[in-house]
Amino acid sequence: MKAGKRSPGHALLGAPIADRFLPTAVCLLPTTVLTADCFLPTADCSSTGTDETFQRLALAEARAALAHDDVPVGAVAVQGGRLIGRAHNQRELLRDPTAHAEMIALTQAAEAMGRWRLTGVTLYVTLEPCAMCAGAMVLARIDRLVYGATDPKAGAVESLYRLLDDPRLNHRVPATGGLLAEECGDLLVEFFRRRRSVKE
């Protein structure tokens, strides 16, 4: 970046922290080639009607990323049945490698609750979280995670690592995987299929 120029995120630094993240899109791993077997349903899917309702909101967030040609992953944070955070990836929009949907939703939840310790919060995500996001959930002390498709290439809940139930850490996060996994996975697979066809 040339001297004197500022990233889009800098223009928002004077705003309340939750307002720095715009409800318009961004990214996961744009250089990774993903195929249909990359996003798999998990066996553990004992969901309730309420879980499905909130997961569909996360899926709507994921779809919003398509308008910006970014990887469709969405997340919502809920406390006591109240929506306190909702986001999709904004990595490229903010030029910020940490701006995954989960991180932004957690930041919004902390702003709404007025504290960093997010006890009582359930996070709904369309894709199994990566190591960064899973670590943030442990640090935030959330009560529960619900996610859709697994991510064999980067997932840190059950695929590559098991950060949320690692006994060496000082907090465990119960996780339910596979909720609306097919819809969540299909959205990602179709996105990468279109991206590859354009490059060809």
Tokens at 49, concatenated = 């009607």
Q: Answer for the pair 88, 72: CB distance below 8 angstroms, yes or no.
A: yes
Provide Rg for the chain, Cα atoms. 16
Q: Answer for the pair 107, 62: CB distance below 8 angstroms, yes or no.
A: no
- Report the DSSP beta bridge partners of residue 149: 127
Q: 92, 102, 128, 158: which is the annotated catalytic residue?
A: 102
**For residue 128, what are the contacts with CB-CB under 8 A and spacing of at least 6?**
147, 148, 149, 150, 151, 154, 155, 156, 157, 158, 159, 177
Catalytic site residue 102? yes
Give the whole-angstrom CA distance, residue 40 versus residue 5.
42
Q: Answer for the pair 53, 63: CB distance below 8 angstroms, yes or no.
A: no
Count Cβ neighbours within 10 Å for each residue of 73-83 and write b for 16 or more, e otherwise.
bbbbbbbeeeb
Catalytic annotation, residues: 102
